[in-house]
Structure 1
Amino acid sequence: MKIGYARCSTDKQDLMVQKTALIDLGVKEENIHMDHGLTGTNRDRPGLERALAASREGDTFIVSKLDRLARSVPDARSIADQLESKGVKLALGQSIYDPADPMGKMFFNILATFAEFEADLIRMRTKEGMAIAKAKGKLRGKQPKLSPKQQNELKRMHETGDHSISDLAEIFAVSRPTVYRTLNRVR
């Protein structure tokens, strides 16, 4: 049997391209397991766990690309070891790698190294971009929900003792944690 796995990192991404690729590779739709909005560095992925649990000896575990399965060599190696212990072959697209075969293992490790390298490059570029934006004064973080005038009024109303935190949250149409953050910020 062919077991498929698809993953995308953000809720804004679409899994249809991967799902279609898996179906084109011969995976039945009911055997495709997916994780939506979970990064490859997060090992706690329910879809991956279901896919691994569904794999039996003689099956082929299929992902469209290695970076959809794992973003680090240790994680990729761990998944490959799980598959090998069950007697399951791993297919990356149309290429099948037998984790028990030395050549298959070597090639898989090389691909995993590239996937990890790519993830490291993305992190490095993101940090560099954030540092540049911060230096230019364009990276300020999340803005407060209340204007400075509203923050001062909230503080004044709180100091009178006539309003509870819940009252202030209702009056300003914000959550109680926002009221607490605002009070801490304006003190």
Structure 2
Amino acid sequence: MALIGYARVSTMGQSLEAQLEALQRYGVDKIFQEKYSGAEQNGMSKRPELNKALEYLREGDTLVVYRIDRLARSTFDLHKIVRDFQERGIGLVFIKENIDFSNSSGKFMFTMLGAIAEFERDLIKERTADGRERAKAKGTHMGRKGKDEKDVQKALKLLRERQENGLSVNEISKMTGVPRSTIYAKNKETLG
């Protein structure tokens, strides 16, 4: 049963010193530390030291983090991490917020965070649906912006001349910037 620390700052210019001192005062056995922005990375997979810490943790261990935002980017993200830890029998402590997910008040906090995460997800879905409806009502095109018609026509011309130019659809797509799916779809429309 080990106490494992995790410290993170978002930019190379920031210092880990305050977090490391707090983790050491807490009595952690080992500390994983890194300088990565959670926002600019695509989820936890881009935080190598966090991944190492998560792999290192065993049943009965506790991950100790200085502040919630050093571990999770949202309540939804935090809820997933805590649920995974509960399934694996791993504890989680946040020093600054004084939250320990292994005791009853921590479990209550987890339940509250779960409700907030679900509420947050529902709000995002509602806002997205509302925005989509408003855009449709205005006649705004949804999805990615289509390629310029002249690029599509150039791609179709190159496609028709494939026997002479020896280009593959992939090569035509790269040359014109028109996606393969658009080339195929527009070619099908012109054929009939």
TM-score range, shorter chain: 0.5 to 0.7
**Cα distance in 2 for residues equivalent to 1:115 and 1:23:** 31
- Alignment partner for residue 167 of structure 2, among 160, 165, 168? 165
Q: Which residue of 2 aligns with 1:2?
A: 5
2:99 aligns with: 97
For structure 2, the residue ranges without an aligned partner over 5 or more in a row are 25-30
In structure 2, what is the Cα distance between the partners aligned to 1:21 and 1:97? 24
1:138 equivalent in structure 2: 140
Cα distance in 1 between the residues matched to 2:140 and 2:131: 11
User: Retained in 2: the 8 A contact 1:5–1:69?
Assistant: no
State the distance in 1 between where 2:169 and 2:54 align.
Answer: 50
Q: 1:75 aligns with which of 65, 68, 80?
A: 80
Partner SS, residue 176 of structure 2: coil
**Is 1:61 equivalent to 2:65 in the alignment?**
yes
Greater displacement, 30-39 / 100-109: 30-39
Question: 1:94, CA displacement in angstroms?
Answer: 1.2
> Aligned residue for 1:12?
none
Determine the structure 2 residue equivalent to 1:113. Answer: 115
Displacement of 1:110 in angstroms is 0.8
Q: Which residue of 2 aligns with 1:129?
A: 131
Distance 1:169 1:122, change over 3 A: same
How many Å separate the matches in 2 of 1:79 and 1:171?
43
Contact 2:155 2:173 in 1 (8 A): no
1:139-165 Cα shifts (integer Å, max 9, x gaps):
3422333x3244334434433542333
Look up the SS of the partner of 2:121 in the other structure.
helix
- Cα distance between partner residues in 2 of 1:58 and 1:154: 58
Residue ranges of structure 1 left out of the alignment (5+ in a row): 7-14
For residues 25-82 of structure 1, give each alpha carbon's deviation from its aligned partner in whole angstroms, at most 9, with x where no partner exists: 435996247554335xxxx735343232345746523443485265168624423416
Amino acid at match of 2:109: F
- Which residue is 2:27 aligned to? none
Q: TM-score, normalising length from structure 2? A: 0.61
Amino acid at match of 2:64: T
Q: Report percent identity of matched pairs.
A: 18
Distance 2:129 2:23 in 1: 38
Query: Which amino acid in the other structure matches residue 137 of structure 1?
Result: G
Distance in 2 between the 1:99 and 1:133 partners? 43
